[in-house]
Structure 1
Amino acid sequence: MAESGGVSDDSKEKAEQFKNDANEQFKAEHYGQAIELYTKAIELNPNNAVFYANRSISYLRTECFGYALTDASKAIEVDKNYLKGYYRRASAYMSLGKYKLALKDYEGIYKHRPTDKDAKLKFTECKKIVQQMAFQKAIAVEENKVSVADSIDVESMQVEDKYDGPKLQDGKVTLQFMQDLMECYKNQGKLHRKYAFQILLDINQYFSSQPTLVDISVPDDGKFTVCGDIHGQFFDLLNIFKLNGLPGHDNPYLFNGDFVDRGSFSVECIFVLFGFKLLYPNHFFMSRGNHESENMNKMYGFEGEVKAKYSANMCDLFTEVYNWLPLCHCINKRVLVMHGGLFSKDDIKLDDIRATERYYTDEIKYVFFHTFMSIKQPMYGRSPSKRGVGCQFGPDVTRRFLENNNLDYIIRSHEVKDLGYEVTHDGKCITVFSAPNYCDTMGNKGAFIVLNGKEMLPKYTTYEAVPHPNVKPMAYANSLLSLFG
């Protein structure tokens, strides 16, 4: 049997079949299955750059940007003349916000193919991004930066006589207002800008006075609900309230980050969540996720949606609010809830989190970034994150953290799960994801967790996606995403 590069012809033939099967799975948007099949092809023939490049784009589709970058680099290592490898690596760099490195790859492709319109377009657009960022950095003077909230004059905003939507009562959120707001949004109505800005200013003032880690007490006979990512899926958010009841003093909730982006009803989601937070400040809680940030909002739809429905200065105010969101919540001193997960070192105590200054921009690196970007893994120890940011942590890391802080278990979100939740690390690490049929393509269920104050044992409710108006996910996303994807 003939061999080339240590790989037999038979292995090459089988690898090609796996690749072809993987391509079919990819076309059907079954990216997990595609990744498994490309992996089998690579195991049989690790000398084919196409396999790595194809698995790279599959990882991009599942937001495993770190893995996508590794595969694209491997494709280039196998065949330095394989241009698709450079395309894939540039896309991974773009997804990770590493625009200068992406530009370097696009520049190389464009120089190699100067008459290729696609290569020229991507190089030109990426260059614009890098130049724009350089300009913004040059004109930014952080020490003299004025608060966006201080520049908003709500009193000067007039409510037109023809407006018949929800109205704040004496400038305050009431239960009637929340009911009217949800009904308005169900009918695809819009909250008046005056009331929208008032909610943002009030919530900004509230969150700025809150600690980085919020302690929550649930009475022995009380219930407490934890929800994961919502991602702008407003009608699925309403379904949670239908299944589990509206928030209230006797029905407290915690929403664990990623309220916006991707789903095209993010504005509706965030104003309902902020409204309930203002109505029930001690019984409704919100943690910051990785999508509560300026850079993510620019790419994945929230900024575009806010500009379409309101204005650019409202986008800036949202960013200011997000920077004040708490990072973690500790329930009854027994369960820690954060968006991403645990840390890259073992000696972190809850008091360290409490002492952390959380107000920062996307450009500032800080030690607790892991709280909304880390990912759990089945094997022991730590490893680089498949997202390319933060780390992956194993069951031993979880166990040591819990022992060091006298906790029972952790709840996190940040990852799509087929059932809407997943229990790992010997029951000590629970993932909850509350956006069913994520992006209208993933086919997953959503879930939420209900805890009893005394036992603190998690009980899971799962549900399917509900119909929504004909507005596709990512409708407001930056056009560069489709360009570079």
Structure 2
Amino acid sequence: MQFRYDYVVFPLIANVVAVFLCMPNMDTGNSDLSRAEELKNLANEAFKAHKYAQAIDLYSQAIELNGQNAVYWANRSFAHTKLEEYGSAIQDASKAIEGYYRRGAAYLAMGKFKDALKDFQQVKKLSPNDLDSAKKLKECEKAVKKLKFEEAIAVPESKRESVADSIDYRAIEVEPQYLGARIEGDVITLEFVKKMMDDFTNQKCLHKRYAYQIVLQMREMLRALPSLVDIKIPDGNHFTVCGDVHGQFYDLLNIFELNGLPSEENPYLFNGDFVDRGSFSVEVILTLFAFKCMAPSAIYLSRGNHESKSMNKIYGFEGEVRSKLSETFVELFAEVFCCLPLAHVLNEKVFVVHGGLFSVDGVKLSDIKAIDRFCEPPEEGLMCEILWSDPQPLPGRGPSKRGVGLSFGGDVTKRFLQDNNLDLVVRSHEVKDEGYEIEHDGKLITVFSAPNYCDQAHIETYGYGENMGNKGAFIRFEAPDMKPNIVTFAAVPHPDVKPMAYANNFLRMFS
């Protein structure tokens, strides 16, 4: 049995799977990781010199500093076999298998199929007769092969033509037997939106002509906006901020029931992650887009990390769009998502962003406004951090538990607010038991608007049941003081379509 001694340890996404290789959230943790790697390298040298007992001791020291690294367990297992200590070798090999397996699952959840393939190849080496691992390895091989083919035939971004430019929705005929919501001419009215929502509630589809019209109008509207949008709320008026909805259409309707429909007098900001996970994402996105087309100042939309091709491919939106609409809509939504603004500022006081803050101090609102956002999210930089970062309780900055972005403390929040003469950061991106959480000495609020997220607790379809899942929340701000008033709510029943019904097979394999 052969092992690779210089395997690189990557940070992982912790909110998708139970991640075995989770990195600490402290600077001292970083020094422990560095020291553990040094010890591993010394152990490798001892192993090569046939000093197996010394190698075991050094691997053990590395494991004490970072027991989450499957490589250390695997290498120590191999050293044990050289000393014929087979019981210890089996125990360590089991730890290594678990580590590679879970890291591979995490990479799959992030859409990093090539990295996942490497880990499942290691699992196969450690456990060659395990049928489950062999199946997942085969699926990884198929995914990587498909990915390489797509990369080979891909058109460079600079030469890629917009799918939106090829669509003429007016040429699409509406069949006489279609009885659903209709747009008369070019104007999307409240009557149309209400009829469309009623149809969606009864699990009826919107005609593709009108779906195209909504999405294409939305694209033109979003393209004209800056990456950071300033919103002015007149004195005496209110403004509502919602967090992640994640395809939970019936809970979106409940928000409107509790707080009123979007209008110029009752404006909303939905702070990203409209789609994925929940299996009514098409209904959610078309509803939000239709309200925006109806009255641009009635609703504002921020991009979340799930408004991206890589996430939509895995977490259900792509499959749902393909099932309910068409393949062309998959590309069209991807284009429109790249037009979504990245952040909003309310009355020059409240900074609203999906993920969080930045890896460096001194970022100004003008820097955010200058971001060229018309692309898929990069894996580093301001745009990445806006979409992916999370707060942490400790001061300073640490590695992200998700494997993308970073974790930032209250001192980082305080400096950002001071640098930009702001009072408060509102962000989303994380499920919270109460639907919200106030952190960083009251300077940061997380709001999450998908109650009973992914059906954590069972509610009987259109019936009654005990809801033990998380609550949802939204925040109402009243001008001019702009103090947050947080409203929480419970989940409502929905048709018997389970979350992730359209998700990638990889996620179902690990559920």
**Normalized against structure 1, the TM-score is what?**
0.85
In structure 2, stretches of 5+ residues that fail to align are: 1-11, 25-32, 34-65, 76-92, 458-468
- Return the match for 1:77 from 68, 72, 75: 72
Conservation of the 8 A alpha-carbon contact between 1:416 and 1:433:
yes
Conservation of the 8 A alpha-carbon contact between 1:65 and 1:96:
no
SS of the counterpart of 1:282? helix
- Write the distance in 1 (CA, Å) between the matches of 2:107 and 2:159: 32
- Write the distance in 2 (CA, Å) between the matches of 1:420 and 1:147: 38
1:77 deviation in Å? Answer: 2.3
Moved more, 417-426 or 139-148: 139-148
1:458 aligned onto 2:484: yes
Conservation of the 8 A alpha-carbon contact between 2:13 and 2:403:
no
Q: Which residue matches 1:107?
A: 121
Conservation of the 8 A alpha-carbon contact between 1:333 and 1:407:
yes
Cα distance change on mapping 1:169 and 1:63 into 2, 3 Å: farther
- Write the distance in 1 (CA, Å) between the matches of 2:379 and 2:184: 39
1:461 deviation in Å? Answer: 0.6
Q: Which residue matches 2:197?
A: 182
- Write the distance in 1 (CA, Å) between the matches of 2:253 and 2:19: 26
- Return the match for 1:233 from 248, 252, 256: 248
Q: Which amino acid aligns with 1:260?
A: V
- Return the match for 1:289 from 304, 315, 322: 304
1:93 deviation in Å? Answer: 1.9
- Write the distance in 2 (CA, Å) between the matches of 1:335 and 1:315: 34
1:178 deviation in Å? Answer: 0.8
Conservation of the 8 A alpha-carbon contact between 1:64 and 1:386:
no
SS of the counterpart of 2:69? helix
- Write the distance in 1 (CA, Å) between the matches of 2:22 and 2:325: 35
SS of the counterpart of 1:449? strand
Conservation of the 8 A alpha-carbon contact between 1:340 and 1:371:
yes
- Return the match for 1:136 from 143, 150, 164: 150
- Write the distance in 2 (CA, Å) between the matches of 1:369 and 1:145: 23
Mapping 1:14-163, distance limit 5 Å: 60-61=16-17, 67=23, 73-80=68-75, 81-82=93-94, 83-140=97-154, 141-163=156-178
Mapping 1:174-323, distance limit 5 Å: 174-323=189-338
1:327 aligned onto 2:342: yes
SS of the counterpart of 1:330? strand
Q: Which residue matches 1:41?
A: none
1:471 deviation in Å? Answer: 0.6
1:135 deviation in Å? Answer: 1.9
1:60-115: CA deviation from partner (whole Å, max 9, x where unpaired): 447998559x9884344245522222111211222233322211121222244444
Q: Which residue matches 2:46?
A: none
- Write the distance in 2 (CA, Å) between the matches of 1:418 and 1:111: 41
1:273-303: CA deviation from partner (whole Å, max 9, x where unpaired): 0001111102310000000001100100101
Q: Which amino acid aligns with 1:463?
A: F
SS of the counterpart of 2:105? helix
Cα distance change on mapping 1:78 and 1:64 into 2, 3 Å: closer
1:58 deviation in Å? Answer: 8.1
- Write the distance in 2 (CA, Å) between the matches of 1:259 and 1:349: 27
**Normalized against structure 2, the TM-score is what?**
0.81
SS of the counterpart of 2:473? strand
Q: Which amino acid aligns with 2:497?
A: V
- Write the distance in 2 (CA, Å) between the matches of 1:366 and 1:64: 27
- Return the match for 1:380 from 383, 395, 412: 395
Cα distance change on mapping 1:181 and 1:57 into 2, 3 Å: closer
- Write the distance in 1 (CA, Å) between the matches of 2:20 and 2:290: 33
Q: Which amino acid aligns with 2:69?
A: K
SS of the counterpart of 1:472? coil
Structure with max Cα Rg? 2
User: What is the root-mean-square deviation of aligned Cα atoms in Å?
Assistant: 2.1
Moved more, 411-420 or 148-157: 148-157
Q: Which amino acid aligns with 1:74?
A: N
- Write the distance in 2 (CA, Å) between the matches of 1:408 and 1:101: 41
Moved more, 401-410 or 113-122: 113-122
Conservation of the 8 A alpha-carbon contact between 2:244 and 2:273:
yes
Conservation of the 8 A alpha-carbon contact between 2:380 and 2:405:
no
SS of the counterpart of 2:508? helix
Conservation of the 8 A alpha-carbon contact between 2:14 and 2:401:
no
Conservation of the 8 A alpha-carbon contact between 1:295 and 1:362:
no
Runs of 4+ aligned residues of structure 1 deviating over 3 Å after TM superposition are: 56-68, 70-73, 111-116, 362-366
Conservation of the 8 A alpha-carbon contact between 2:263 and 2:297:
no
SS of the counterpart of 2:258? helix
Cα distance change on mapping 1:57 and 1:432 into 2, 3 Å: closer
- Write the distance in 2 (CA, Å) between the matches of 1:471 and 1:63: 28
1:422 deviation in Å? Answer: 0.8
Aligned length: 430
Moved more, 168-177 or 408-417: 168-177
Conservation of the 8 A alpha-carbon contact between 1:231 and 1:266:
yes
- Write the distance in 2 (CA, Å) between the matches of 1:349 and 1:110: 49
Q: Which residue matches 2:415?
A: 400
- Write the distance in 2 (CA, Å) between the matches of 1:441 and 1:109: 30
Conservation of the 8 A alpha-carbon contact between 1:65 and 1:387:
no
1:348 deviation in Å? Answer: 0.3
